[in-house]
Structure 1
Amino acid sequence: MTESILFATDSYMRNLRENTVREFDYKQALDSGDWKRWQQSFRERLAELTGLASLREYTRDLPLSPRTTETVRFPGYRREKTYITTEPGVEIPFYLLIPENGTGPFPLVLTPHGHGKRGKETYVGNYSSDSEREQAEAGERDVALQAVMEGYAVIAMDVRGFWEMSRDEEFSTKKAGSCDELQKRAFMYGRTLIGERVHDMGRLIDYASAHPDIDTSRMVITGNSGGGTVSFFTAALDERISVCVPSSCFCTYPGSVMKVPHCHCNFIPGIMKLGDMYDIAGLIAPRPLLFVHGILDQDFPIEHTREAFAHARIIYEAIDRKLTDCCELYEGNGGHRYYKERVWPFVRQHLTSGKGGDRFLESP
């Protein structure tokens, strides 16, 4: 029998690692102490690499053109459905939830969802069946409802590639979403789905900034899985975010998307030449950052999440040792899902304390 010879993946990956230097390895800033310059340069390069910079530039003067199609009242809040323009001919559909109790303007929570076909509908509790409700509530994925019941204004949008932002070709065939097809097209023009989704979040923030019921000086972003990734990169690339809570997504790249099969939307060509995920966490520092993760998560193995978190904590401590409570990892006892137990106490603490960003900006 002829011996089978297959591709030497381990050698290939070792060659890649040994011949790649991360330009924005956080240890450079650790040595120099110039965190602001490191962040500014890194953020600019990451915006270019993801295609976000060019997308922002050509839509700079594009009107939002909001149109509201329905308003529904529920116990304790009202829900408006609205569309805004994100790039020519492309709209973002979203629900705006406003508490009926309390006095506005209210702090805002943005809730990008993960890889579920029905997108924003799940996060606002607009279920299509009892089984969908049971699955969503078991994984605590009604994130927008959680937020509005905490007294926050909420924007729950369809993330590009899902539900009303999926392509007809996938939607009509009952596929979960259009990530792969949209990502392939984005790559051909030097864009990425991550950059496009961060851009969409920025347009939603622009809309919220002019809304009389919303206080965008206190703004949180949180979501699970793919929604966690959108939350993480939005906070890294848009400094208007006050508090970031990504769930079921933070890890090292070698320990997650380069080790376990993942959707194409997680990939950014050339990212390892800039930095790993924990380097990118340094773009959020010193703003409050809570990573939520299940110890049984098979998509993002917990040992690699703990490794990445240890590096992120070093960054926060290097900026200011008093900020260690601004960077936290909460470990849930299950798998790849949302864990709300620590989320809302963390948000309440840091939205009211003013810790993190203000002190950093005022430091010499």
Structure 2
Amino acid sequence: MTIKSGIICYIIGIASAIAQPNPDRPDLCQGAYFTEEEGAKALQTFASTYHDKASWEARASLIRKGIREGMQLPARPQFAPLKPIRHSLRTMDGYTVENVAFESLPGLFVTGNLYRPINATGKAAGILCPHGHAPNQDARFLEQAQQRCATLARMGAVVFVYDMLGYGDSKQCDHKISKALTLQALNGIRSLDFLTSLPEVDTTRIGVSGESGGGTQTFLLTALDSRVKVSVPVVMVSSYFFGGCVCESGMPIHKRPTHQASNVELAALAAPRPMLLISDGKDWTRHTPEVEFPYVQNIYGYYGAKDRVKNVHLPNEGHDYGPSKRAAAYRFLAEYLKLDLNRVLKDGKIDETPNKILTPTDLQVFTSEHPRPADAVVGDEAVLALLN
């Protein structure tokens, strides 16, 4: 990501933060729903409801149920067969890239790019890379996304980066469709299905990492699907900020008739699976070392697993998935997914220079030669009808 695009994304995030809460929807917790002080105090209130592993797991069960019911997630989603579309395989320096689509719900396609290591021996770890918001809705094509996927593939992982609704090739409905939260959760689950269906992937070594809105997708998917073994939500886990977009907080997953929760507890549902919180000093994660991280670490302590949750805080940085944030993620994912960090080190530092940044045209899934399938459902109302 360039400095300019990073600033734009940060301004978009701040604009979302100050636009809430929403007086017309008292059941929703959106944007900066709490003040910073209220967010920290809320964590103290939440913590008073449990005191050991058993009581935490009772609350965790309540929170998971609240997520599912709040986003109206079907108990048994009526997924279509995957029927993957794969084309335009390119061989790079230590990895390959190809353009991929597959069905989620009937007629709704997940679109993205699959990065794979060259000369891998044995089964490979699999990593999903959801992305955050961007002003041009081409976040999958940004340098920060391509660098992350290419480097992880060079380390030995099979990596799939996929579009948010309305982004990239996923233009079957608007991004801010009313049930975007549900649809993106289902697409995330289906992306796990695709990744774990690949014969070269070790299904016991699955990770997820995304930034901002992709960070929200990361901790929600980790909470909902036990196949995720390692979680790295970047610049998103906050005690007072709940996500500024409808795709993150547009449905009542935090405030339920039975309880109130925040994204800190939603992220803590990963326990005791390894999780790295990456935070910075210029957005809503500025207090992570003093507020959010100790709260989550306490929960991990109930499992005797405090060492499995870590925080890398970058006080002089802002809201992105830049080089230092990626370096922290690479080291954590290498440790817990058994990747070969040495493949991407030069003089002891992460070296991304072998990666080639491709154009959006190179990475596009649906083209004149590879058109979107004729049975694709198009339009907000038609896509929402798939959930009925």
Secondary structure of 2:166 counterpart: coil
| RMSD of aligned alpha carbons | 2.9
Structure 1 position 330 matched with structure 2 position 312? yes
Taking a change above 3 Å as real, the CA distance of residues 44 and 352 of structure 1, as seen in their structure-2 partners, is same
CA contact (8 A) 2:114 2:159 kept: yes
- 2:212 corresponds, among 218, 225, 228, to 225
Q: Where does structure 1 lack aligned partners over 5 or more consecutive residues? A: 1-8, 123-135, 169-177, 187-192, 354-364
Q: Deviations over 1:222-275 (max 9, x none)?
A: 1111111111111111111010001111101xx3248xxx33323144313341
TM-score under structure 1 length normalisation = 0.72
- TM normalised by structure 2 equals 0.68
Residue deviations 1:127-170, cap 9 Å, x none? xxxxxxxxx35xx77221221122211011112231211357xx
Q: Corresponding residue for 2:361?
A: none
Q: What are the within-5 Å matches in structure 2 for residues 2-41 of structure 1? A: 25-30=46-51, 33-41=54-62
The aligned runs of 1:238-257 (5 Å cut-off) are 238-252=225-239, 255-257=240-242
* Aligned with residue 179 of structure 1, among 172, 175, 178: 175
List aligned pairs for 1:271-350, cutoff 5 A: 271-273=254-256, 274-297=260-283, 300-303=284-287, 306-320=290-304, 323-332=305-314, 333-338=316-321, 339-350=325-336
Residue 133 of structure 2 corresponds to residue 119 of structure 1: no
Cα distance change, pair 257–248 in 1 and its aligned pair in 2 (3 A): same
- Mapped contact 1:228–1:249 kept (Cα < 8 A): yes
2:162 aligned partner, one-letter code? M
AA aligned opposite 1:143? R
Which fold has the larger relative contact order, with Cα–Cα distance below 8 Å and residues 6 or more apart in sequence?
Answer: 2
- The CA deviation at 1:34 is 4.0
Give the corresponding residue for 1:171.
none
Contact 1:313 1:327 (8 Å CA) reproduced? yes
Is the alpha carbon distance of 1:68 and 1:115 closer, same or farther for their aligned partners in structure 2, counting shifts above 3 Å?
same
1:199 match: 186
Residue 109 of structure 1 is matched in structure 2 by 127
| Counterpart in the other structure of 1:49 | 70
SS of the equivalent of 2:287 reads: helix
Match 1:151 to one of 151, 156, 181: 156
Could you tell me which of 258, 264, 284 is aligned with 2:246? 264
- Long gaps (5+) in structure 2: 1-20, 27-32, 340-388
Contact 1:246–1:290, Cα closer than 8 Å, also in 2: yes
Displacement of 1:314 after TM fit? 1.2
SS of equivalent residue, structure 2 residue 127 = strand
How far the C-alpha of 1:102 sits from its partner, in A, is 2.4
* Deviations, residues 47-67 of structure 1 (Å, cap 9, x unaligned): 121122x1x62415x211212
Cα deviation per residue 1:330-357 (whole Å; 9 max; x = unaligned)?
Answer: 112311012112111111222249xxxx
Aligned AA (2:280): G
Comparing 265-274 with 148-157, greater Cα deviation is found at 265-274
Give 1:194 deviation, angstroms. Answer: 2.8
Distance 1:146 1:306 in 2: 31
Q: How far apart are 1:35 and its partner, in Å?
A: 4.1
Q: 1:279 to 1:149 in 2, by over 3 A?
A: same
1:93 matched to 2:111? The reply is yes
1:77 counterpart (95, 100, 103): 95
Residue 112 of structure 1 contacts residue 231 of structure 1 at CA under 8 Å; is this kept in 2? yes
Answer whether contact 1:30 1:315 (CA < 8 A) is retained. no
CA contact (8 A) 2:140 2:146 kept: no
Question: Helix, strand or coil: the match of 1:217?
Answer: strand
1:203-214 to structure 2, matched below 5 A, reads: 203-214=190-201
Contact 2:279 2:288 survives alignment (8 Å) = no
- SS of the residue corresponding to residue 269 of structure 2 reads coil
Q: 1:27 to 1:350 in 2, by over 3 A?
A: farther
- Indicate the SS of the match to 1:341: helix
Counterpart AA for 1:77: Y
Deviation at 1:327, TM superposition (A): 1.1
Q: Aligned pairs, how many?
A: 293
Residues 352 and 97 of structure 1: CA distance in aligned 2, closer, same or farther (over 3 Å): closer
Name the amino acid aligned to 2:81.
P
Q: Would you identify which runs of 4 or more consecutive aligned residues in structure 1 move more than 6 Å?
A: 11-14
